[in-house]
Chain A
Amino acid sequence: MDHFIQAENFAKISAYLTLFRQGTAVTVLLSLFTVVIGFILALLLATMRLSKFCPLAFLGVDREGRLRDGGVLLAVSKFNPLAFFATAYVEILRSTPVLVQVFIIYYGVFGSLVSLPKFTFLGFIKFERFFPGVIALGMNSGAYLCEIIRSGIQSIDGGQTEASRSLGMTQFQTMRFIILPQAIKNILPAIANEFVVIIKESAITYTIGVQDIMSAVNAVRGATFIIIEPLLVATAIYFCLCFPTSKIIAAFERRMSRGDKR
């Protein structure tokens, strides 16, 4: 091979254009489903981490109804199972490789515990591979988004909560009308960044047979023994997905912040 990139190779792989087109559709769908699942999961996890649910609180109070000064019982009384499990989940998911998580979900959970119906939708997406991919990536990004949401909620001045509660609004109403709208605006750049990360990370699902862009590259290589040119095509597609996405969200964010400065 005298040249790193050869023009005729592009001509050869153009026969496989449909694979790339389908792969792009899979990557986009996979990322969209992932971000929705991840966001819902993250809201739940962040709520759990910030909750003040202490079912053993009664242990921290002595017979006369006063708070104990210290000791094991006081420590136990502060135990919040919701926060504990959410924190454990987040830390485990953030401290292990996403490839391992994808394999555990695909081969472990959906390989032996749960059996999925095998069917193809939209003409080319294999459900039994696509679904575990979405679940695994969603679970992973849920952990990261949880931390983003949590920091966003905690960044809102405590005076906002006090003002809302002093008007008689409940904890839930305060969260919904006062804290979350402000927090989400603050964390929008971080969420957009996470969405771009998901698009890129979704490439890993080709290892469990999801027919995304990377899987198209692999298929072309298998059929033609050409590797660099399909990889460049994949690079271009990923760039065209990620770069505009971050730009669109940046523009959206500018519009939102203009709303309250004007």
Chain B
Amino acid sequence: MATSDKLIEVKDLKKYYNKGAIKALDGITVDINRGDVAVVIGPSGSGKSTFLRSLNLMEEPTDGSIIFDGVDITKKKVVNAEGRMVKLNIDQHRQKMGMVFQHFNLFPHKTIMQNMTLAPVQVKHMPVAQAEEKAMALLKRVGLADRAGAYPIQLSGGQKQRIAIVRALMMEPEVMLFDEPTSALDPEMVGEVLDVMKELARSGMTMVVVTHEMGFAREVGNRVLFMADGRLLEENAPRELFDHPQHPRLKDFLSKVL
């Protein structure tokens, strides 16, 4: 499934708080290839979420670089197609990176349909009718076509998260970032969200997933990254990593969660 075509290159990424007293990210270097389903695991406070949120600059890194689709998005200025220095437009790059949050973050004052069509219409200037057609197709894909006119408050947690996923898909991103997408869900709703994510992975979407769902990591991921103390300590194919952990911190972590 994975090719060697690099989509995101992360080089020595650092994120410090309080002038370096807290090192949330302490030099992360990793490549994400097209078609990868990279699952990031690790104890809480290990910097997994900070790492994920840095990829689309929700968190501004202190140091290091993130090269997305050939552009270093950590730089304020970039060289454009005509070879001129221009101000980096982060919004343009964020369109290509869908993000799904732990707490869904649907827009409560808008219907499900409006939640999905707002960004394509406003940002990509897609005609409303076309956006609604596209949204309807995606809603059918996740089995929520009948809820198009509902408001987020009327949906269950699992339904909200499925909507959040298809809302991000509306922008046709090149990569989907998942920040603990099932952590805020009641146990019986975790499955329906993971099913959507599995289907997405099968369709060839590049995904970076921060999760505590070890079953998902093992079954769907093609790479598992283990983080602790702001560092990437071990990386391997899921079977290797879970069955033959090398680093003592990983062994310790797996003994607690498995």
- A contact residues vs B (CB 8 Å cutoff): 66-67, 69-70, 157, 159-160, 162-170, 173, 177-178, 181-182, 185, 259-262
Contacts and interface: CB of A to CB of B under 8 A. Distances in A.
Contacts of B94: 165-168
A136 B138 CA distance: 54
Contacts of A262: 151, 154
Contacts of B108: 182, 260
B58 interface: yes
**Most chain-B Cβ atoms within 10 A of its Cβ — which of A159, A163, A181, A261?**
A163
B115 to A, nearest CB: 9
B256 interface: no
Contact of A160 (B98, B107, B151, B171): B107
A70 B99 contact: no
A166 B91 contact: no
A157 to B, nearest CB: 8
B101 A163 contact: yes
B233 to A, nearest CB: 26
Contacts of A182: 107-109
A239 B164 CA distance: 49
Contacts of B101: 159, 162-163
B99 A166 contact: yes
A168 B119 contact: yes
B219 to A, nearest CB: 26
A159 B62 CA distance: 22
Contact of B107 (A70, A163, A166): A163
B151 A67 contact: no
Contacts of B91: 165, 168-170
Given A160-B105, A181-B109, A67 B171 contact: no
A166 B122 contact: no
A260 B151 contact: yes
24 contacts: A160-B105, A162-B99, A162-B101, A163-B99, A163-B101, A163-B105, A163-B107, A164-B107, A165-B91, A167-B123, A167-B171, A168-B91, A168-B92, A168-B94, A168-B95, A168-B119, A168-B171, A177-B118, A182-B108, A182-B109, A259-B151, A260-B153, A261-B151, A261-B153
B223 to A, nearest CB: 23
Residue among B19, B95, B103, B109 with the most chain A CB within 10 A?
Answer: B109
B48 interface: no
B95 A167 contact: yes
B166 interface: no
Contact of B58 (A160, A165, A181): A165
Contact of B167 (A69, A165, A167): A167
A35 B171 CA distance: 40
Contacts of A261: 151, 153
B97 A166 contact: yes
Nearest to A185: B109
Contacts of B154: 262
B182 interface: no
B150 to A, nearest CB: 9
Given A166-B58, A167-B123, A169-B122, 5 more contacts: A160-B107, A162-B101, A163-B107, A166-B94, A178-B107
Nearest to B57: A165
B56 interface: yes
Interface string B107-128: 1110000000011001100000
B168 interface: yes
Of B95, B97, B101, B122, the most chain A CB neighbours within 10 A belong to B122
Nearest to A160: B105
Given A167-B119, A177-B122, A159 B103 contact: yes
A69 B58 CA distance: 23
Which are the 6 A-B pairs with shortest beta-carbon distances? A168-B95, A163-B105, A167-B119, A166-B99, A159-B105, A168-B94
Interface in B122-157: 122-123, 151, 153-154
